[in-house]
A and B are shown apart, each in its own frame.
Chain A
Amino acid sequence: MGFILLLTLLGLLYIANAHRGERKLRKINKLRKEVNDAKANYQEVKSETTYNTTESQLIKKLEPQGLKMNTETPILIKPEREK
Chain B
Amino acid sequence: MQMDRKNELLVRVYIVFFVFVLLAIVILSKVVTISLFEGEKWREKGGRNVKWVELNGERGNIYDERGNLLATSLPYFDIYVDVMTVSEELWNSDIDALCASLSAMFGNASSEWHAKLVKAREDKDRYLAIAKDLGKEDMKKLQSFPIFKEGRYRGGFLYEIKTSREKPYKQLASRTIGLDRSNATKIGLEKSFNGVLSGDVQKRLMQRYPGDQWLPIYDPSDVDQKRGSDVVTTLDMNYQDIVHHELLHAVSKYNAEAGTAILMEVETGAIKAISNLGKYKDAYVEKYNYAIGRLSEPGSTFKLISALAVLESGKVNLDTKLDIAGGRKKFYDRTMYDSERHGLQVVDLREAFEISSNVGLANAAYEVYGKSRESWLKFYEDLKSIGVMDETGIEIPGEPKPFFKNPAHEKVTASERWSGTTVPWMAHGYELQMTPLQILTIYNAVANNGRMMKPYIVKEIVGADARPKTIKPKILKSSIASATTIAQAKELLEGVAKRGTARNFDIKNTSFAGKTGTTRINYWLKTGDKQYNASFAGYFPADNPKYSLMVVIYNPKGAYYGSQVAGPVFSEIVERVSGMEQRVEVLPVEPKIEVVKAHSGYKGDYKALLEFIGMDYKNHSTSKWVDMDSREASVVMKAKKISTKKVPDVRGMGLRDAVYVLESLGMNVETQGMGMVYKQSILPGTTIRNQGIKIYLK
Contacts and interface: CB of A to CB of B under 8 A. Distances in A.
Interface of A: 22, 25-26, 28-29, 32, 36-37, 40-41, 43-48, 50-51, 54-56, 71-80, 82
Interface in B124-162: 135-137
B583 A74 contact: yes
A82 B215 contact: no
Contacts of A74: 579-580, 582-583
A36 B224 CA distance: 12
Contacts of A43: 69, 72, 74, 166
A55 B74 CA distance: 25
B238 A46 contact: no
B221 A48 contact: no
A77 B585 contact: yes
A79 to B, nearest CB: 5
Contacts of B245: 56
Interface string B552-585: 0000000000000000000000010011111111
B582 A75 contact: yes
14 contacts: A25-B209, A26-B211, A26-B213, A32-B223, A44-B136, A45-B137, A47-B168, A48-B168, A51-B169, A56-B241, A56-B244, A71-B575, A78-B585, A80-B588
Contacts of B398: none
B80 to A, nearest CB: 20
A75 B168 CA distance: 31
Contacts of B677: none
A75 B585 contact: yes
A75 B582 CA distance: 6
Given A25-B220, A43-B72, A76 B583 contact: yes
Nearest to A74: B582
A58 B170 CA distance: 15
B168 A46 contact: yes
A74 B223 CA distance: 51
A22 B209 contact: yes
Given A73-B578, A76-B582, A80-B587, 14 more contacts: A25-B215, A26-B213, A36-B75, A40-B74, A41-B137, A43-B74, A47-B69, A47-B168, A51-B169, A55-B241, A55-B242, A74-B580, A79-B587, A79-B589
A73 B582 contact: yes
A77 B136 CA distance: 45
A80 B74 contact: no
Nearest to A37: B136
B509 interface: yes
A54 B585 contact: no
Contact of B587 (A26, A44, A56, A78): A78
B72 A47 contact: yes
B585 A25 contact: no
B170 A51 contact: yes
A48 B72 CA distance: 12
Given A25-B220, A25-B221, A44-B74, A55 B238 contact: yes
Contacts of B170: 51
B69 A50 contact: yes
Interface in B303-338: none
Interface in B238-263: 238, 241-242, 244-245
Contacts of A82: 589
Contacts of A56: 241, 244-245
A28 B244 CA distance: 45
B418 to A, nearest CB: 48
A79 B590 CA distance: 10
Contacts of B238: 55
A44 to B, nearest CB: 5
Q: Which 6 A-B pairs have the closest CB atoms?
A: A47-B168, A76-B582, A50-B168, A73-B579, A56-B245, A54-B241
A70 to B, nearest CB: 9
A64 B508 CA distance: 27
Nearest to A58: B241
A72 B575 CA distance: 10
B445 interface: no
Most buried by B among A22, A36, A40, A80: A40
B277 interface: no
B68 A50 contact: yes
Contact of A40 (B68, B69, B136, B508): B136
Contacts of B244: 56
Contacts of B581: 73
Contacts of A73: 509, 578-579, 581-583
B11 interface: no
A80 B585 CA distance: 10
A37 B137 CA distance: 10
Contact of B137 (A44, A46, A50, A75): A44
Contacts of B580: 74
A45 B137 CA distance: 9
Nearest to B244: A56
B435 to A, nearest CB: 27
A15 to B, nearest CB: 16
B36 interface: no
A68 B653 CA distance: 55
A62 to B, nearest CB: 15
A75 B238 CA distance: 18
B215 A29 contact: yes
Contact of A80 (B69, B578, B589): B589
Nearest to B581: A73
Contacts of A54: 169, 172, 237, 241
A78 to B, nearest CB: 5
B674 interface: no
Given A26-B209, A44-B135, A78 B237 contact: no
B586 interface: yes
Most buried by A among B75, B135, B168: B168
Nearest to A45: B137
A48 B167 CA distance: 10
A77 B168 contact: no
Contacts of B169: 50-51, 54
